[in-house]
Amino acid sequence: MSSVPDTTSKINFTDNDTKFDESGIQYVINPHDEFGLTKAMQIKEKTGAELVVLNVGTAKTEPVIRKVLAIGADKAVRIDADPKDSYFTAVQIAHYINNHDEFDLIIAGKESLDYNGGMVHGLVAGMTSKKFINAVMGLELKDNNMVEVAREIDGGKEFIETSLPLIIGGQKGLVKEEELRIPNMRGIMMARKKPLEVLPAVEAAVKTKIDKFEKPAPKGAIKLVDKDNLDELIDLLHNEAKVI
Amino acid sequence: MSILIYAEQQNGKVAKSAKELASYAKAYADKTGQDVVAVGAGLEDADSLFQYGVSKVLNVNDDTLKTFNAFAHAQMVAQAAGQQGADLILISDSNDAVYMGPILADKLDAGYVSHVIGLPEDGGNFTVKRKVFSNKGIAYTEVLSDKKLLRLAKNSFGMLENPVAGSVEDFAPDVDKSVYETYKVTKVDKATGKVSLTDADIIVSAGRGLKGPENWGMVEELADVLGAATACSKPVADMGWRPHTEHVGQTGKQVAPNLYIAIGISGAIQHLAGVNGSKNMLVINNDPEAPFFKAADYGVVGDAFEVVPKLIEKLKAFKNQ
């Protein structure tokens, strides 16, 4: 689970554009992970499975981890590190999984909405030799450890039959929008008593490094066309933008 | 030394994304004195890549491998990279390539950068620009490993013709095909006869301003006239006016067509994050204060129910010229 800036956040950079400016930023459960969390809750309620939330982050992510516990996870593990790059983060998660080989289903988001790497899940699959399906928009447990997964493909979806254990990159569609869980008061009270284990990070290299940030170039001024002069619009789209 | 691109196919033909990858690779190869090699399965018109600077296509003619499987194709690409001594490998941001990316990165022990929007910067280090924070920021990302895997953002470089003499070679990688059993595809649901959102050059999108699902006829007609795909905003999908597959935005699909037409969409920051990779944006909205007017290239202030039918008529006349 990733803790990411709320999707309405204005993004700024600081320290000579070398760091993300965290001032005034509200953190939330990564939206793709939210769909996965609700799916996990539904499975837990149906099968009695234990639900563990794992995060790689500094103590700053704990409010979001507590929120996941309040929604219903049984326990939390935080690997205490600044997730320097996707490879580093994947090594941490893979190390934990390899030492706690008890998970039937590992649900990640297809991408975290901060650095948008979209690769930690697949790297972990490689490092743990586990099966992996990305961009999952539907998942149904079948008998004998089998599972049917709907994966998004360009222009549609593909249904795949495979078996547990499995790692997925989840997204919208895993559960319906209206099914998404939010914490209630009882959940928040209970979350305070649930275990949140903090583990030290293992040594790991990085494979990429961000040297600096910049904001996208501002758009040029919009060209407004009068609603009674749509010929001008067609002319602009044809001769200037060259798109029709 | 060569640069390797993973060339995907669509109904047997080289996908447009592969031509954009080739254009990018060729532009960089010309700076570094390398060749561009492509690898793909079942490319019927593999030689079309010569036009975009590819001098060798490794074409796999294995019926099993012609169907995508992320683990099989990762093996195929990794072996092609090994055979060609390629340290730089490029993939597109199609759903298939995005799925295969980290599996391939793990196999090659490569540093992997997604959402790349520019050629490697000049200078000693290998640094590329990539989009972060859902298009709200750009990060200059240095790749520290010898092997480098880049996932190019659609429409960020464009297709540039740069013809070279080339050859197509049969390539028979040694792939463990049991993965097709491990991940057994039982069904594929694909809208036929419709332009898909990911492939579309033009997207016509509409929002709550349309007042109800019964009013989508004109959106579909406009899309028909333009050969465009249709899309919608999040509230419209959430209310069930349109299928969720049409939702574009930060938590829906991220799109980057040549032209994005937004009708009756106010332009919330989450919506813009999913569409502002578009080359051109046209907004039609009756509220001149709608935030979309600050982000778009072209705008018409007016009632969609009046403007859109008129625009359809004008476009039909224009197309018939």
How confident is the model over B7-20, as pLDDT tens digits? 999 999 999 999 99
A184-211: pLDDT as tens digits: 999 999 999 999 999 999 999 999 999 9
Q: Does residue B192 carry a pLDDT above 90?
A: no
What tokens were used for A185?
Answer: 């008061």
The token duo for A101 is: 């080989």
d(C-alpha B192, C-alpha B296), whole Å: 31
What pLDDT, on a 0 to 100 scale, did the predictor assign at position B321? 86
> Scanning every residue of chain A, which has its alpha carbon at the shortest distance from the alpha carbon of B313?
A230
Contact B133/A116, CB-based, under 8 Å?
A: yes
Whose structure tokens read 């972990």?
A124
Per-residue pLDDT of B93-134, as tens digits, reads 999 999 999 999 999 999 999 999 999 999 889 999 999 999
pLDDT bucket at B272, cuts 50 / 70 / 90: very high
Percent of chain B with pLDDT over 90: 92
Interchain proximity A31–B250, CB inside 8 Å: yes
Residue B194: pLDDT band with limits 50, 70, 90: confident
With an 8 Å Cβ cutoff, is B278 touching chain A? Answer: no
Q: Which residues of A touch B292 (CB under 8 A)?
A: none
Half-sphere exposure of B149 (CA within 13 A, CB side): 28
Residue A157's nearest CA partner among B178, B4, B243, B41 is B243
The pLDDT value given to residue B88: 98
DSSP label at residue A46: H
Residue that is written with structure tokens 């996870």 in the block: A73
- pLDDT tens sequence across B42-97: 999 999 999 999 999 999 999 999 999 999 999 999 999 999 999 999 999 999 99
Query: Phi/psi of residue A57, each to 5°?
Result: -175, 170
A207 touches chain B (CB under 8 A): yes
What is the predicted pLDDT for the residue at A14?
97
Distance from CA of B278 to the nearest CA of A (A): 12
* Domains of chain A and CATH, by start: 3-216 (3.40.50.620)
Residues of A (48-77) whose Cβ lies below 8 Å from B: none
Could you say which residues from 139 to 168 on chain A have a Cβ atom under 8 Å away from some Cβ of chain B? 148, 151-162
Give chain B's domains with CATH numbers.
2-182 (3.40.50.620), 202-320 (3.40.50.1220)
Arithmetic mean of pLDDT over chain B: 96
**pLDDT tens digits for range A221-230:** 999 999 999 9
Q: B218-264 pLDDT, tens per residue?
A: 999 999 999 999 999 999 999 999 988 899 998 889 999 999 999 99
Q: What residues in B contact A165, CB-CB < 8 Å?
A: none
**Chain A: residue whose CA lies nearest to B315:** A234
B25-50: average pLDDT: 97
pTM for the model: 0.94
| Pairwise CB contact (< 8 Å): B184 & A127 | no
CA distance readout (Å), A18 to A21, B113, B137, B140: 9, 18, 12, 10
Are residues B105 and A119, on separate chains, in Cβ contact within 8 Å? yes
Which tens digit of pLDDT belongs to each residue from A93-120?
A: 999 999 998 899 999 999 999 999 999 9
Say what the pLDDT of residue A101 is.
81
Question: Distance from A135 to chain B by nearest Cα, in Å?
Answer: 7
pLDDT at B195 over 90: no
Taking residues B179-197, report their average pLDDT: 89
Cβ–Cβ below 8 Å for A135 and B95: yes
First to last CA, chain A: 43
Q: Give residue B190's pLDDT band: very low, low, confident or very high (50, 70, 90).
A: confident
Question: Is the pLDDT assigned to residue A213 strictly greater than 90?
Answer: yes
pLDDT at A46: 96
- For chain A, list the strands marked E by DSSP: 3-5, 13-14, 19-20, 27-29, 52-57, 75-80, 105-109, 131-141, 146-153, 156-163, 166-170, 196-200, 208-214, 223-225
Q: What does the pLDDT read at residue A25?
A: 97
Characterize the bridge pairing of strands A223-225 and B2-6: unpaired
What local confidence, expressed as pLDDT, does residue B138 receive?
97
The string of pLDDT tens digits covering residues B276-309 is 889 999 999 999 999 999 999 999 999 999 999 9
B282: chain A residues, CB-CB within 8 Å = 233, 237
Q: Is A39 touching B (CB cutoff 8 A)?
A: no
Q: What pLDDT was estimated at residue A85?
A: 97
- A36 part of contact set with chain B, CB < 8 Å: no
Question: What pLDDT digit, counting tens, does each position of A145-154 carry?
Answer: 999 999 999 9
